[in-house]
Chains A and B, each alone.
Chain A
Amino acid sequence: MSRLDLDSKHEFDQNVQETRIPPAKMKLVKQEILHKTGEGFAIMKPEEPEDMWHAYNLIRPNDLLRASAVRKVITESAGSGSRSNERVHTTLTIRVTKLDFDPQAGQLHVSGRVAEENPIVKLGGYHTLDLELQRNFTLEKSEGWDSVAIATLKEACDNDAKAQLWAVIMKEGLANICLVTDHQTILRQKIEYSLPRKRAGSTDHEKSMQKFFHTTYDSLLRHIDLANPKPLLLASPAFTAGQFQQYIKAQAAISTDKRVKDLLPKITVAQSASGHLHSLNEVLSSPAVTNKLSDTKFARETQLVDKFFELMRHEDNRAWYGPRESEKAVEQGAVGKGGGVLLISNGLFRSQDVGVRDRWVRCVDSVREQGGEVRVLSSMHESGRRLESLGGVAVILTYPMEDLDELGEGEVEEEQPESEDEHEHGANGHSHGVEGRRDHEEDIDFL
């Protein structure tokens, strides 16, 4: 039984990565995965909220998941007919039917039917497991571990490279406070402030601006861990970010909390085209920022997406997007050695439809065989979000190809329902990148 060497250097991530603070990563407690068939199981221990995101990407419907559970048991004594409730801690194995990921809280709820005999729950009974930090869970793949799943597993348990930064994307009257990690951009708070316009003889605008900064500053301090400050990126069009930096400096000077002063050197100010969250993309890919914040996986991905967009703009026939076109290009071997890149959103691998996942796993495998680069972009990053709007997949070819989109009308029609499907998927808030952004907006208004 030959096992996969999961400790080897990440083969897909070629860029040099700097080791930072010893990261608390998902721990692989034990794995028995057969190299040939992919059968087997892995025992993992999530140690921080982001691990839930990895788990979310790993666990698919029909998989067997074994984890500790709390179950309410109702016992009815035969004689008196009295009932008593009891919460019982047990370990359940379920066959997964549904996953629910809450990115804000970093929680993953997995529903399924109990698949293993248990004294408390009958076989086939429904249960929802809430995966918890610091508690092992065992995952066994029904279809076997495919290459993408193994890559995800490797990435999840990768002890290298752990970059995190806080970013405030703002403009006058709007601030998006978000946490950027390797795999996610989590919008923590959105502050909207209605600022009156400047008018002669009134200082309302300046006053409101100060209030707006104050609110943003307070919210920011609530979110960031001052004891262990991460880089803080302030970005806005024009001068707002600079003004805000000045404000933080002023606050740090009068603050009794010394730790705020420690935050100051971590601040980077950058220009963005707008104060909306999607501008984060261009900020993170700008050289000024990448230099300062050193490398992240995200930066490389953003660069590739940018390169792709650039090629598209120049109508270079080496850039194509869309499921059909990309697949066709891969089939013809155009995404191979010497610059071939397949950009694919991990949203496609989370598809409820097993067929869709298989199709893209095959595609990924074939690109790797041809020697091309595969980038699985997180749909929770802005670069991934850009990719999602292109249908979740794009390719940069090694040689120009023409008319990949010129197909029979019938085929176009065939594509129709799928894109509708995509749309529905989007409505769940998953394919549109920062998940849960709608539900967690906090609007603060001035009066």
Chain B
Amino acid sequence: MQRVKNVDYDEDDLYDDDEEYGEESDDRDSEQNRSSFAELTPVVRAELEEAGVQASDKAIEDALWNSFWDVGKSVVFLKDRNAPRQTPKKQEKAKSKFDQAAERSAKETGGSSKLAKLAEERRKKAAATAAGGSSTDSELSSLDRLTKPKDSKENDAPSSVAEPRKYPIRKKREPTPPPKEPTPPPPTEPEEEKPDLRASPTAFARTLSTHPVQGRKVTAPALADLLGTEQSEDPFKGPSPDDTVLKAQQRSKGRSLSKQTEALKLDSQSTQATIRSKGLDVPKLWAEEKAKRKPAAAFVVIGHVDHGKSTLMGRLLLDAGAVSQRDVNKYQKQAAEMNKSSFALAWVMDTGDEERERGVTFDFAQHHFSTPKADFTILDAPGHRDFVPNMIGGASMADMAVLVVDANQLESGMKGQTKEHILLAKAVGLKKVVVAVNKLDAANPAWSQDLFEQVQADVRKLLLDSAFAEQDIKFVPCSGLGGANVVNAPKASSPAAWVSKAHFTLLQALERSIPPRIADQEVIRQPLRMQIVDVFRGGVTNPVSIAGRISSGSVQIGDIVTVRPSGEKATIRAIDVLDEAKDYAVAGQICSLHLSDIEAQHLRSGDLVCSLQHPVHGRRSVVLLIDVLEPLLPQPVDVHVGRLHVPATISQLVETVDGKGEQLKRRPRLLKAGQRARIKVSFEGSVPLVVGERVIVRTAGVTAAHGTVE
């Protein structure tokens, strides 16, 4: 009897279960069903008593429910269950979660799971007493499922919060997990019902079952459903369409499901596989969290080749604690083997083999670090003239610039990339610039203040000529290799002592130069625009990822975006900002977006990610308003828009204009340096360009003009 009692206890447990999730009772509580129960329960009970079996009302009701009001089958089932079940039950209890998962999948495919074997056993025993015909199999298996939740219930015990966390993890190993059915929905035809058990709920069902409180955001879930990766479903409730309808009716009567909803929300937060938009009001959230945030900025490091940009940044990261001394020691050792020990710090930024071998940065490197006062993203641009396109890509993602000048080699840069980079920094719209006068320790005499003053004067003039404002320029004397005045001020005893009296360290200067994010809210509320800077494999779970800086609008997990010019759509699966997973990202942030529903071949660096509702349309030809730096004719040119680099042809010199944009001369035959003009440019293919976009025109490896799209 002890055992029977045990069973009864289980039954109660099951009952509780139903109460808690309020589903079974939902449909059963309908009037018609209740009357059927009232009618049939006594009949079954009488039969059971005849056979000497005890059962609670609830158990009988369950059995009836699941056998579709078939008294005979219910009786068989109840008898059956009360008699031989204890041994297998213990086994079940001992089962690990993996076994359960395996069972479930085996069941799904109709394989010979342990439970199925049990069912077989029972069926044989039941065959003697059964009045039911050959069709019992299916009903029995269906009924078997009724007993299943007990196992999991017992294992997972009362912590209902813990459950959702565990299940998705298990489910990830099964590509198509069926919602585990503790209590099958009302079967109209048992055989037909089976597939129903496994069918995932419809979009409608989901909407109803998961967003009963704020019933909005219908579109995103619909897509998420199509993906089939929806994991937030609690295994204990897999509502069939019928269930849902009934539940909806129930809900309309005022019964709240908020408890489940809460659990589900928790669930969806804990699993990345869920691609459901939370429907966040991002601009509002962004504003709310403003107080909590540290100021953040991305700065591009520019300057002539070999002036020590990468080394200075390596030093900055090392001294700021973003890179461990151990790593640097390792680089030092490796670099020494290649007789390039002075490049060790640069290797923090230059990760490519070829870059290290040649000691030249090829592509801009990206690195984050934080100080107590601010979050920074370094964009370490290459200084070599052949890599200017990559520098433009880096600069277009930055909020400000750090210009590195070799105090001893000023001349080379003034003619070369120091000058060109300054122009380009201005052309992509950067305003603030910190000038790091580097390699002062190698000067003769070391830390010569005169030399610094002289360099400062020269560079300042160049910057002012390039239309940078006086107050936006800061000068920092420093040494990247030695590390003086980068993060730590030089010692008072050193020849560089004069530095700390009048100048900030590089880091302090950076912290003081962070430009305010102007008109934050306004930009964030605009449609999403983000240029893809990199297409990469973000890991096993994120096969397709892109990186870039959001230029306007915002994006959140679950959003559907479109990529131009390919026109393909993608869903945002996850977002990383500053190497941390986030729910959303806004304009001005550099982020990685992990995508699903798109192939990598539709993504190229330079493509534009746009909001679905307001895509940017590609254009084959545009009119540009440019400031001319080199003489231009109608001729083939390279057009750079951030990371985008396309060949184009100047098809017409429309007019030269004055400062206000008034026409000076129509159809000039030549554009001279220093002029301002409108030109018509045609592309080979269509290029997604927004009005006002900053454009750089280069020809034969020289920056010839910069301007904006009209």
Contacts and interface: CB of A to CB of B under 8 A. Distances in A.
A389 B649 contact: yes
Contacts of B647: 274, 276-278
A309 B634 CA distance: 10
A279 B366 CA distance: 30
A199 B601 CA distance: 20
Interface residues of A, number: 48
A132 to B, nearest CB: 32
Given A238-B362, A238-B387, A390 B634 contact: yes
B631 A204 contact: no
Question: Which of A237, A391, A412, A446 is the most central at the interface, judged by chain B CB atoms within 10 Å of its CB?
Answer: A237
Contacts of B605: 194, 197
Interface stretch (B286-294, B447-455, B533-541): B533-541
Contact of A447 (B387, B601, B700, B701): B601
A445 B635 contact: no
B203 to A, nearest CB: 30
Interface string B504-538: 00000000000000000000000000000111110
B354 A239 contact: yes
Given A239-B354, A389-B650, A312 B536 contact: no
Interface string A304-326: 00000100110100001110010
Given A194-B535, A438-B684, A312 B701 contact: no
B626 interface: no
Contact of B636 (A278, A312, A405): A278
B355 A274 contact: no
Choose among B354, B605, B631 the residue with the greatest number of A CB atoms under 10 Å from its CB. Answer: B354
Contact of A282 (B599, B631, B700): B700
A322 B534 contact: no
A385 B389 CA distance: 24
Contacts of A172: 362
Contact of A313 (B352, B601, B631, B649): B631
A262 interface: no
A20 interface: no
B612 to A, nearest CB: 23
Contacts of A19: none
Nearest to B699: A273
A315 B672 contact: yes
Interface in A205-243: 205-206, 237-239, 243
A254 interface: no
B374 interface: no
Contacts of A446: 600-601
A196 interface: yes
A242 to B, nearest CB: 10
A202 B366 CA distance: 13
B125 interface: no
B107 interface: no
Contacts of B366: 197, 199
A200 interface: yes
A312 B670 contact: yes
Contact of B638 (A205, A276, A313, A322): A276
A320 B605 CA distance: 40
Given A239-B358, A274-B638, A274-B645, A194 B352 contact: no
Interface in A92-116: none
B603 A389 contact: no
Contacts of B537: 196, 204
A238 B649 CA distance: 24
Interface string B625-662: 00000110111101000000101011100000000000
A83 interface: no
A87 interface: no
A197 B645 contact: no
A321 B633 CA distance: 10
A273 B701 CA distance: 5
A325 B601 CA distance: 48
Interface string A31-69: 000000000000000000000000000000000000000
B595 to A, nearest CB: 13
Nearest to B634: A389
B38 to A, nearest CB: 63
B651 to A, nearest CB: 7
Contact of B352 (A206, A309, A389, A447): A206
Contacts of B700: 273, 279, 282
A305 to B, nearest CB: 10
Contact of A198 (B351, B634, B684): B351
A20 to B, nearest CB: 30
Interface in B594-612: 599-601, 603-605
A386 interface: yes
A416 to B, nearest CB: 10
A205 B352 contact: yes
A172 B700 CA distance: 18
A389 to B, nearest CB: 5
Contact of A274 (B358, B384, B635, B701): B701
B600 A390 contact: no
Contacts of A276: 638, 647
A325 B670 CA distance: 13
B23 interface: no
Contacts of B701: 237, 273-274
Contact of B536 (A204, A309, A390, A432): A204
B39 interface: no
13 contacts: A192-B604, A194-B600, A198-B355, A198-B363, A198-B365, A199-B366, A238-B386, A274-B389, A309-B633, A322-B669, A389-B650, A432-B649, A447-B600
Given A197-B533, A239-B362, A274-B647, 20 more contacts: A192-B604, A194-B601, A194-B604, A199-B351, A199-B536, A205-B352, A238-B362, A273-B699, A273-B700, A274-B389, A274-B638, A276-B647, A279-B700, A315-B670, A322-B669, A389-B633, A389-B634, A390-B634, A438-B685, A445-B601
Interface of A: 172, 192, 194, 196-202, 204-206, 237-239, 243, 271, 273-274, 276-279, 282, 309, 312-313, 315, 320-322, 325, 382, 385-386, 389-391, 405, 412, 423, 432, 437-438, 445-447
Q: Would you list the 8 A-B pairs with minimal beta carbon distance, nearest first?
A: A273-B701, A445-B601, A196-B536, A238-B386, A276-B647, A278-B636, A237-B386, A197-B534
